[in-house]
Structure 1
């Protein structure tokens, strides 16, 4: 019997990031993981537009996460910039974990795009 997994890739990015930035960092993630079970991308609320295009390319749904709400999420990465701007250690890790909810675990800590404008992390939960 195959195990049921809920897998979400979370993104964090600067306003100057392009679809190419997001694709670059996601391709780094794909190189490390098998995404046959990827269910969704998650992003901070209000940042859905650019990621919606990427979600359409990979045929996954999009989940918005309100970073302003406390989700009791602890990130592995502790980025000074992310903490200063958003109050979380890593936006990508935070939205991936928060999108899944309780019992979420980090499968892959954040990766950074070549232009350093986007990050992506992956979280999962057993169903």
Structure 2
């Protein structure tokens, strides 16, 4: 399973989300699942629908326990994690997941995306 995790501001557009995904996905395998904090899933739904991919919401406690490589003070203050997108990708990919593309910031700085790979089940 290859998961694209997202973090984004309230005003992020589908174009912002797509730009973050495209930047993070360079050189990564095709994504099979999108993930975001539970309270942001509805905003990610249009991109998921246009890509034909499922989307999953990640609980706050799962975001806070994920080990991220990026350490953003803003993410720590808002969500208790160093990188919302990295934490969402890792949590959705499951136990033993690894980050294959760290946080990529969309050019408009409204969205971030990271890619994680889960162990085959």
TM-score in terms of structure 1 length = 0.88
- Kindly report structure 1 stretches of 4+ aligned residues shifted beyond 6 Å: none
Provide the rounded CA distance (Å) in 1 between the counterparts of 2:62 and 2:56: 15
Looking at secondary structure, tell me which structure has more strand per residue: 1
Shift of 1:28: 1.2
- What residue number does 1:43 align with? 36
Out of 111, 115, 125, the residue aligned to residue 104 of structure 2 is 111
1:84 aligns with 2:82: no
**CA RMSD after TM alignment:** 1.4
1:10 aligns with 2:16: no
TM-score in terms of structure 2 length = 0.92
Out of 4, 28, 36, the residue aligned to residue 33 of structure 1 is 28
Larger-Rg structure? 1
Contact persistence 1:71–1:98 (CA under 8 A): no
Looking at secondary structure, tell me which structure has more helix per residue: 2
Could you tell me which runs of 5 or more consecutive residues in structure 2 were left unpaired when the two chains were aligned: none
**What number of residue pairs does the alignment pair up?**
120
